[in-house]
Amino acid sequence: MLQVYFFRKERMQKMENLNLVTLPHFVSVKDLQKNEVESLIKRAEYFKQGGAIPRLTKPVYVTNMFFENSSRTHTSFEMAERKLGLTVIPFDPAHSSVKKGETLYDTSLIMDALGIDLEVIRHSENEYYQQLIHPQKHQHLNIGIVNAGDGSGQHPSQCLLDMMTIHEHFGHFKGLKVAIIGDITNSRVAKSNMELLTKLGAQVYFSGPSYWYSDKYDKYGKFEKLDDLVSKMDVMMLLRVQHERHAKDPNEKKFNAKAYHEKYGINQKRYGQMKDDAIIMHPGPINHDVELAGNLVEAPKCMFVRQMQNGVFMRMAMLEAVMRGRKLGGLR
DSSP per-residue codes, 182-220: S--TT-HHHHHHHHHHHHTTPEEEEES-GGG--GGGTTT
The answer to whether position 136 is within a domain reads yes
Distance of alpha carbon 81 from alpha carbon 68, whole angstroms: 20
Query: What does DSSP assign to residue 284?
Result: S
DSSP E strand boundaries for 111-230: 118-123, 144-150, 177-181, 203-207, 221-223
Mean pLDDT, residues 229-245 taken together: 92
Whichever domain contains 165, its CATH number is 3.40.50.1370
Tell me, yes or no, whether 122 and 36 share the same domain: yes
Mean pLDDT, residues 15-21 taken together: 69
Mean pLDDT, residues 108-112 taken together: 98
The answer to whether position 244 is within a domain reads yes
In this model, does residue 16 exceed pLDDT 70? Answer: no
How do residues 263-277 score in pLDDT, each as one tens digit? 999 999 999 999 999
Distance of alpha carbon 254 from alpha carbon 317, whole angstroms: 42
The answer to whether position 306 is within a domain reads no
The answer to whether position 138 is within a domain reads yes
Tell me, yes or no, whether 123 and 225 share the same domain: no
Q: What is the structure's pLDDT at 250?
A: 84
How sure is the predictor about 238, in pLDDT bands with cuts at 50, 70 and 90?
A: very high
Tell me, yes or no, whether 175 and 88 share the same domain: no
Ramachandran angles phi, psi of 256, nearest 5°: -135, 115
Q: What is the structure's pLDDT at 15?
A: 47
Beta bridge partners of 65: 121
Distance of alpha carbon 194 from alpha carbon 209, whole angstroms: 17
Q: What is the structure's pLDDT at 216?
A: 95
The answer to whether position 186 is within a domain reads yes
Cis geometry, peptide bond prior to residue 285 (ω within 30 degrees of 0): yes
The answer to whether position 57 is within a domain reads yes
Residues 6+ apart with CB under 8 A from 178: 166, 193, 197, 202, 203, 204, 205, 233, 234, 235, 237
Tell me, yes or no, whether 147 and 176 share the same domain: no
Cβ contact 210:217 at 8 Å = no
Tell me, yes or no, whether 160 and 147 share the same domain: no
Tell me, yes or no, whether 15 and 143 share the same domain: yes
The answer to whether position 240 is within a domain reads yes
> Whole-prediction pTM value?
0.91
Tell me, yes or no, whether 324 and 237 share the same domain: no
Structural domain boundaries, residue 137: 2-151+311-330
Domain count, the chain: 2
Tell me, yes or no, whether 297 and 162 share the same domain: yes
Tell me, yes or no, whether 231 and 317 share the same domain: no
Tell me, yes or no, whether 119 and 168 share the same domain: no
How do residues 25-65 score in pLDDT, each as one tens digit? 999 999 899 999 999 999 999 999 999 999 999 999 999 99
In the chain, what's the furthest Cα-to-Cα distance?
A: 72
In this model, does residue 12 exceed pLDDT 70? Answer: no
Higher pLDDT: 245 or 252? It is: 252
Q: What is the structure's pLDDT at 249?
A: 79
How sure is the predictor about 4, in pLDDT bands with cuts at 50, 70 and 90?
A: very low
How sure is the predictor about 5, in pLDDT bands with cuts at 50, 70 and 90?
A: very low
Average pLDDT, whole number, for the chain? Answer: 93
How do residues 115-142 score in pLDDT, each as one tens digit? 999 999 999 999 999 999 999 999 999 9
How do residues 159-197 score in pLDDT, each as one tens digit? 999 999 999 999 999 999 999 999 999 898 999 999 999
Tell me, yes or no, whether 111 and 28 share the same domain: yes
Tell me, yes or no, whether 174 and 283 share the same domain: yes
In this model, does residue 252 exceed pLDDT 70? Answer: yes
Q: What is the structure's pLDDT at 68?
A: 92
Mean pLDDT, residues 297-316 taken together: 98
Distance of alpha carbon 131 from alpha carbon 110, whole angstroms: 15
The answer to whether position 230 is within a domain reads yes
- Percent of the chain at pLDDT > 90 equals 87
Q: What is the structure's pLDDT at 18?
A: 66
